[in-house]
């Protein structure tokens, strides 16, 4: 899916250069076994290994992580006990949990990476700063983008598109 205004009018062919910068969106469900919740170590390992393989091709990689394996704000709010804005904040914090897990696994595989969060949680992650994210990417670090857009009533799919445009990714 193109990340920004359509610049390409013809389909990519095998003669084209590979992508230089890619944004990968990982749904929260990828972190757990189908129909389950939380973080499954095997699934975490397989995501991290795929990222390591992608990095080995030389591509710059930004990763937006979802949080549906932990909390989906709209579903939680539907119970009637928690307002959606708060439930969405909880959902965004869930994405931070996934991001931290992914960071640890990637580091253990020797993949340099940083977590940036759209919600400020200075003790655990850098804030999302576009210029700093770009520098990490240029240095070959995987940048894991947590907390979606930082705003309730959005999803991490929106965040993926927004961040892809912001960091100049050629494809999501």
3-state SS, residue 127? strand
What is the rounded distance in angstroms from the CA atom of residue 118 to the CA atom of residue 126? 9
Residue 100: name the closest of 146, 157, 163 by CA: 146
- Residue 135-154 contact track with ligand UDP, rule CB under 6 A, x = bound: -------------xx-xx-x
Among 73, 101, 125, 161, binds ligand UDP (CB under 6 A): 73
Q: Does 105 bind ligand UDP (CB under 6 A)?
A: no
Which residue in this structure is represented by tokens 């309730």? 152
Q: 158: which residues sit within 8 A by CB, 6+ positions away?
A: 148, 149
State the minimum distance, in angstroms, from the CB of residue 15 to ligand UDP.
34
Two tokens, residue 76: 């939680």
Length of the chain: 172
What minimum distance in Å lies between the beta carbon of 26 and ligand UDP? Answer: 8
Minimum distance of ligand UDP from residue 163's CB (angstroms): 10
Using CB under 6 A as the binding rule, whether residue 163 contacts ligand UDP is answered as: no
- Tokens 């991290």 belong to 48
Among residues 161, 137, 164, 167, the alpha carbon closest in space to that of 55 is found at 137
Cα separation, 64 vs 170, whole angstroms: 15
Number of residues that bind ligand UDP (CB under 6 A): 24
Q: Does 156 bind ligand UDP (CB under 6 A)?
A: yes
37 binds ligand UDP (CB under 6 A): no
Select the span of 8-16, 49-57, 65-73, 107-115 touching ligand UDP (CB under 6 A): 65-73
Which of the stretches 48-56, 86-94, 105-113, 124-132 binds ligand UDP when contact is defined by CB under 6 A?
86-94
Residues that bind ligand UDP (CB under 6 A): 27-29, 66-68, 72-74, 88, 91-92, 94-95, 148-149, 151-152, 154-159
């Amino acid at each position: 899916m193109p990340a920004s205004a359509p610049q390409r009018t013809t389909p990519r062919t095998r003669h084209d250069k590979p992508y230089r910068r890619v944004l990968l969106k990982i749904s929260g469900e990828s972190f757990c076994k189908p129909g389950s919740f939380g973080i499954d170590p095997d699934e975490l390992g397989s995501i991290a290994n795929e990222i390591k393989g992608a990095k080995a091709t030389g591509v710059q990689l930004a990763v937006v992580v979802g949080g549906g394996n932990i909390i989906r704000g709209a579903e939680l709010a539907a119970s009637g006990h928690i307002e959606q804005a708060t439930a969405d904040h909880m959902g965004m914090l869930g994405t931070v949990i996934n991001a931290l897990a992914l960071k640890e696994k990637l580091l253990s595989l020797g993949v340099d990476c940083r977590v940036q969060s759209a919600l400020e949680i200075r003790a655990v992650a850098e804030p999302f700063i576009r210029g700093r994210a770009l520098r990490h990417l240029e240095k070959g670090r995987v940048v894991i983008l947590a907390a979606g857009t930082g705003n309730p009533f959005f999803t991490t799919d929106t965040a993926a598109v927004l961040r892809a445009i912001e960091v100049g990714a050629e494809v999501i």
